[in-house]
């Protein structure tokens, strides 16, 4: 399989697409074509890593990683993506829980798969200096990337986070790794962290000297594994009932939602795709008005979705076209902070389960925007993080102390260490 930029340009290999992140023309890498499957192609395959190896094989054909794909999948997919059935008279509803990985958010899938690929690509290139993964984070991405690359040979990680702007549990997940992971608290905003990363990458000499690599969410190596849990969950339901599944997906940069679009396009039994955004309305406004108007992000309770210029829209438009065409294929709704709070309380009263603020957007959309007719088939609401990661928001609403997932509890007990730096590229470069 060859990969090309959404803005065209030459076709390159999978390993080059993974190592370069974005294309030189500013576009995003996509596969030259999508393979298609029938459900029967996966008969007898139940485990997520085996399913991943089979469905991702065409994407790895001809790559230096082709023969290592099975082992990459086993290493990356070391935890499950279960569907929890919600019993509700008449409706057929479940929650696709994507928070059973080490840092309790769906980003573990992409980060672990990317790490497994990058380490092997680096080994095949016999580099003299280790790879340096440089990542700016507003919270969840940095933790997942640090956890995924921690202890891996031939690679180190430098994480930049905005001083005092991440939750205390998130900060702990960014700063507890030691060894090959260095965390820097940058005296500025997330945007400062991102500009510093861009500036360091733009310095070609520095970038070559340290083998700088990006692990951001538009890397094709993070998207591919995300399509696997849509494939698996839709197949599981199809095998039981012969029915397709529809999804409501909490959306920020559209990586998770777009992975579902890929799974549907590959022929998995997926019916409707509904995107739930927070008060950052760039995507719903585009579908309503037909004009793409990226803007500055606004801070909300579902902070991992605070994106004003969702990058993966470029991939979606290149696959499914402009607003008219998109409107016939998916729907999208925006959810306010007040509605997020209301829904966390309502679900907890209704079923006793506390959901995270991101997941609550999907519940709100399902309960308040879909009609009875819409809700006729089987729906899966996507749970993107464990509520205990956002305990400062959720616990006061549900009046209950949330139990920590085991792995998160383990991480939170590790000692934490980080340096604080001024928001300049020069200050950060000292740590390279």
Ligand X SMILES: *Cc1c(COP(=O)(O)O)cnc(C)c1O
305 binds ligand X (CB under 6 A): yes
Three-class DSSP category at 110: helix
Within residues 237-256, the interface with ligand X by CB under 6 A covers 250-256
CB of 382 to ligand X, least distance (A): 9
- Strand arrangement, sheet containing 8-12: 8-12, 3-5, 29-31
Q: Which residues contact 305 (CB under 8 A, 6 or more apart)?
A: 250, 251, 252, 277, 278, 280, 358, 361
Q: By CB under 6 A, tell whether 140 contacts ligand X.
A: yes
Nearest-angstrom CA–CA distance, 55 and 263: 10
Residue 139 or 423 with smaller CB distance to ligand X: 139
CB of 259 to ligand X, least distance (A): 8
**Which residue among 17, 18, 105, 370 contacts ligand X (CB under 6 A)?**
105
CB of 224 to ligand X, least distance (A): 13
Query: Which of the following is catalytic: 54, 107, 380, 389?
Result: 107
**Residues 343-362: x where in contact with ligand X by CB under 6 A, - otherwise, as a string:** ---------------x----
Q: Does 112 bind ligand X (CB under 6 A)?
A: no
Please choose, from the candidates 259, 302, 312, the residue with its C-alpha nearest in 3D space to the C-alpha of residue 280: 302
Site string for ligand X, 63-102 (x = CB under 6 A): ----------------------------------------
What is the Cα–Cα distance from 388 to 403, expressed in whole angstroms? 7
Cβ-based nearer residue to ligand X, 149 or 390: 390
CB of 148 to ligand X, least distance (A): 14
Query: In whole angstroms, how close is the CB of 385 to ligand X at the nearest point?
Result: 3
Task: State which residue, 38 or 298, has the beta carbon closest to ligand X.
Answer: 298
Q: Indicate which single residue of 14, 18, 263, 385 sits in contact with ligand X (rule: CB under 6 A).
A: 385
Instruction: State the number of binding residues for ligand X (CB under 6 A).
Output: 17
> Cβ-count burial of 177 within 10 angstroms (0-12 exposed, 13-18 middle, 19+ buried)?
buried
Separation CA 174–CA 176 (nearest Å): 6
Burial of 132 per CB tally in 10 Å (0-12, 13-18, 19+):
buried
- Shortest distance, CB of residue 151 to ligand X, whole angstroms? 23
Which single residue is written with the structure tokens 């016999």?
126
Give the angle subtended at the CA of 207 by the CAs of 204 and 210, to the nearest 5°.
145
Other CB atoms within 10 Å distance of the CB of residue 352: 9
Residues 254-283 within binding reach of ligand X (CB under 6 A): 254-257
Is there binding between residue 382 and ligand X (CB under 6 A)?
no
Encoded tokens for 2 = 């060859």
> Exposed (0-12), middle (13-18) or buried (19+): which is 242, by Cβ within 10 Å?
exposed
> Has 107 been annotated as catalytic?
yes
Residues in 195-234 at the binding interface with ligand X, rule: CB under 6 A:
217
- Which residues sit at the interface with ligand X, rule CB under 6 A? 105, 107, 140, 217, 250-257, 304-305, 358, 384-385
Residues with catalytic function: 107
């Amino acid at each position: 399989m060859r990969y090309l930029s959404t803005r065209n340009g030459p076709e390159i290999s999978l390993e080059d697409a993974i190592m370069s992140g974005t294309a030189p023309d500013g576009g995003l890498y996509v596969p030259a074509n999508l393979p298609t499957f029938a459900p029967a192609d996966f008969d007898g395959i139940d485990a997520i890593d085996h399913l991943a190896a089979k469905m991702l094989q065409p994407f790895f054909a001809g790559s230096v990683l082709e023969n290592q794909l099975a082992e990459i999948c086993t290493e990356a997919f070391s935890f499950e993506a279960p569907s929890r059935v919600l019993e509700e008279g008449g409706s057929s509803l479940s929650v696709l829980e994507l928070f059973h990985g080490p840092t309790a958010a769906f980003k573990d899938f992409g980060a672990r798969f990317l790490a497994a690929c990058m380490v092997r690509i680096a080994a095949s290139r016999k580099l003299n200096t280790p790879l340096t993964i440089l990542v700016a984070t507003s919270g969840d991405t940095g933790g997942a990337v640090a956890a995924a690359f921690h202890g891996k040979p031939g690679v180190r990680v430098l994480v930049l986070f905005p001083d005092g702007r991440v939750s205390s549990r998130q900060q702990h997940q960014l700063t507890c790794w030691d060894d090959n992971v260095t965390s820097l608290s940058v005296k500025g905003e997330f945007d400062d962290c991102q500009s510093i990363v861009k500036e360091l990458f733009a310095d070609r000499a520095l970038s070559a000297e340290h083998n700088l690599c990006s692990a951001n969410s538009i890397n094709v190596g993070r998207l591919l594994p995300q399509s696997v849990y849509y494939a698996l969950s839709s197949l599981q339901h199809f095998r039981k009932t012969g029915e397709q599944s529809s999804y409501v997906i909490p959306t920020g940069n559209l990586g998770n939602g777009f992975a579902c679009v890929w799974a549907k396009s590959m022929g998995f039994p997926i019916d409707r795709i509904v995107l739930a955004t927070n008060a950052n309305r760039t995507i719903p406004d585009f579908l309503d008005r037909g004009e793409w108007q990226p803007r500055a992000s606004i801070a909300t309770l579902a902070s991992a979705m605070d994106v004003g210029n969702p990058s993966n829209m470029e991939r979606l438009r290149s696959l499914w076209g402009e607003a008219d065409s998109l409107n016939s294929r998916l729907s999208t709704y925006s959810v306010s902070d007040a509605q997020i709070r209301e829904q966390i309380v309502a679900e907890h009263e209704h079923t006793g389960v506390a959901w995270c603020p991101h997941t609550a957007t999907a519940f709100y959309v399902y309960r308040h925007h879909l009609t009875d007719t819409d809700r006729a088939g089987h729906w899966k609401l996507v749970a993107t993080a464990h509520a205990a990661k956002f305990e400062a928001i959720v616990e006061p609403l549900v009046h209950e102390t949330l139990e920590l997932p085991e792995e998160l509890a383990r991480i939170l007990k590790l000692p934490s260490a980080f340096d604080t730096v001024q928001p300049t590229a020069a200050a950060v470069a000292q740590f390279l």
